[in-house]
Amino acid sequence: MAGPGGDMQWCFSQVKGAIDDDVAEADIISTVEFNHTGELLATGDKGGRVVIFQQEVENKNLPQFRSEYNVYSTFQSHEPEFDYLKSLEIEEKINKIRWLPQKNAAQFLLSTNDKTIKLWKISERDKRPEGYNLKEEDGRYRDPNTITALRVPVLIPMDLMVEASPRRVFSNAHTYHINSISVNSDYETYLSADDLRINLWNLEITDRSFSILKHNLRNFIYEDPSGHSWSPSSSLPVFEEPENPSNRSFFSEIISSISDVKFSHNGRYMMTRDYLSVKIWDLSMENRPVETYQVHEYLRSKLCSLYENDCIFDKFECCWNGNDSVVMTGSYNNFFRMFERGQRRDATLEASRENSKPLQVLKPRKVCTGGKRKKDEISVDSLDFNKKILHTAWHPQDNIIAVATTNNLYIFQDKVN
């Protein structure tokens, strides 16, 4: 991305989280999501907490405009639970957060762990009532016999307080681990999915959902809790690319397993992330992707050991920028990749504490795949496979990105912005 004449240059903006190299398990970031305006940025962690950052909108007319995200609200979304029937503990790790479109002053988001989805209301309070008749200021009740005159309580300003309260709890609908949720723009329904089934929920109704078994998707059978089922007359399109026989190996199936899917903002395209690549599909063309980007092709010769150490099962996410011209995804060694679709340009950047000076421009990184390693390049065998960037998010309008390393959240922005 670095280059003269209007290209994107990414600068460090902020980093959130502990500086410690010793990572506390509960602090491991498990999901990152901007809200629809980009003003709020939510993260979920392994300890079941949600932290919401809010963008402080400084004067946008100033040069070197910097938007800073500061903590807006922190709350414990999920607690560990014990399933007595199966005798196992249900992790409190937040797998996904999805914001609802904003309808009034309050914000709503859905957060989910492996088994339970919760609808949270986040509301601001900057006034409090004072002057009750029956209560003292400290809360003690007054003896009604002592009251001689009535007054109307008044609202007086107070320091801003942000409260999160659970409004709905949706549980007992998934046997396997919930891996994603998706909100309908009608603000009434949403989907939750595990490896086997997709459930369709109404936000108002917590005791039942419509269930679609994924392996039935070809014939598309719906089932509701009463056992009634039906299927539409047409079946779903299937996006599938024929396999390249020269690339076939024992691991072909594993590496073609899709770890994330994202629709483009304009609704025309869909991006899929598999282990080694990002593919962009035109929704009107099912037989092959329109674009394929190699994320870390140098890993192809290492698949055997990546299988052995389980890295091959890592589920990387991907995201689009606001106008669908650039896509981003994470890799190992705290590297992340960006692909500029029209320009056919790509970059490898790194999220690290060493490059964390304010407004420091990120230098492109390069992995050396063989032969003589140039200065500043890193060889494949030196990559740290414990430092993986699985979760990334792009501000819906601006060139601001949030990149999660194991326990830190990095915020980068485009220098020109």
Partner 1 sequence: MILKGQKRKLDPEDGEAADMSSPTWESQRQFVFSVSLNKYQRGQELPEPSLRRSVLIANTLRQIALEKHGESPPPPDSALMSGEPATPPTNRGQSEDEDWGSVESDFSLSAAISSILTALDSTIDGGPQAAPRTPLRSVENLPESAGDAAKPGYVNDVSMEDLFQEVDASLLGRVGYPAEEELICYLPPFSSASSNFREAFELEHLMEILVES
196 forms part of the interface with partner 1 (CB under 8 A)? yes
Distance in Å, CB of 176 to partner 1, minimum: 5
How far apart (Å, rounded) are the C-alpha atoms in residues 368 and 379?
5
Instruction: Indicate whether 305 belongs to the interface with partner 1 (CB under 8 A).
Output: yes
Interacting residue with partner 1 among 62, 64, 86, 150 (CB under 8 A): 86
| 401 forms part of the interface with partner 1 (CB under 8 A) | no
Q: Is residue 304 near partner 1 by the rule CB under 8 A?
A: yes
Give the binding range for partner 1 (CB under 8 A) out of 20-28, 127-135, 308-316, 389-397.
Answer: 308-316
| Residue 218: count of CB within 10 angstroms of its CB | 10
Residue 221's φ and ψ, nearest 5 degrees, are: -105, 125
145: helix, strand or coil? helix
Which regions of 171-298 does DSSP assign to beta strands (E)? 180-183, 189-193, 197-202, 210-213, 222-223, 229-230, 260-263, 269-273, 277-282, 291-294
| Nearer of residues 65 and 307 to partner 1, judged by Cβ | 307
Q: What residues between 366 and 385 interact with partner 1 by CB under 8 A?
A: 380-381, 383, 385
Sole binder of partner 1 in the list 27, 124, 223, 324 (CB under 8 A):
223
Two tokens, residue 189: 């329904």
Binding residue (CB under 8 A) for partner 1 from 135, 142, 248, 363: 248
Q: Decide whether 66 or 300 has the Cβ nearer to partner 1.
A: 300
**Residue 167, token pair as written in the block:** 């409004």
Kindly give the pairing relationship between strand 154-170 and strand 117-130.
Answer: antiparallel
In the complex, the smallest distance separating the C-beta of residue 364 from partner 1, rounded to whole angstroms, is 23
Nearer to partner 1, 137 or 310 (CB): 310
**Rounded least distance, CB 82 to partner 1, Å:** 11
**How far is it, in rounded angstroms, from Cα 381 to Cα 333?**
11
211 contacts partner 1 (rule: CB under 8 A): yes
Q: Does 141 bind partner 1 (CB under 8 A)?
A: no
Q: Is residue 245 a contact point for partner 1 (CB under 8 A)?
A: yes
Count of residues that bind partner 1 according to CB under 8 A: 51
* Interface pick for partner 1 out of 106, 191, 254, 368 (rule CB under 8 A): 254
Rule CB under 8 A: say whether 88 interacts with partner 1.
Answer: yes
Q: How far apart are CA 294 and CA 375, in angstroms?
A: 23
CB 28, min distance to partner 1, A: 18
Q: Determine the Cα–Cα distance for residues 214 and 6; give it in Å rounded to an integer.
A: 45
Q: Sign (positive/negative) of CA torsion 24, 163, 179, 247?
A: negative
Residue given tokens 């046997």 in the structure block: 175
Q: Establish if 231 lies at the interface with partner 1 (CB under 8 A).
A: yes
Q: Which of 46, 96, 118, 197 contacts partner 1 by CB under 8 A? A: 197
- Minimum CB separation of residue 297 from partner 1 in Å reads 12
CA dist 404 and 326 (Å) reads 19
Residue 196 is encoded by which pair of tokens? Answer: 């086997």
Least separation, in Å, of the C-beta of 288 and partner 1? 14
d(CA 36, CA 102): 8
Does 386 help bind partner 1 (rule: CB under 8 A)? Answer: no
* Minimum gap (Å) between residue 30 Cβ and partner 1: 15
Q: Does 308 bind partner 1 (CB under 8 A)?
A: yes
Kindly indicate which of the ranges 34-42, 69-77, 151-159, 216-224 contains the residues binding partner 1, using the contact rule CB under 8 A. Answer: 216-224
Q: Within 10 A of 416 (CB to CB), how many other CB atoms are there?
A: 11
Question: Residue written as tokens 């993986």?
Answer: 388
How far does Cα 127 stand from its chain's mean position? 33
DSSP sequence for 357-404:
STTPBPPP-EEE-SSSPPTTEEEGGG--TTSB--EEEE-SSSSEEEEE
- Could you list the residues that contact partner 1 (CB under 8 A)? 86-88, 175-177, 194-197, 211, 213-219, 221, 223, 225, 227, 229-231, 238, 240, 245-246, 248-254, 257, 300-305, 307-308, 310, 313, 380-381, 383, 385
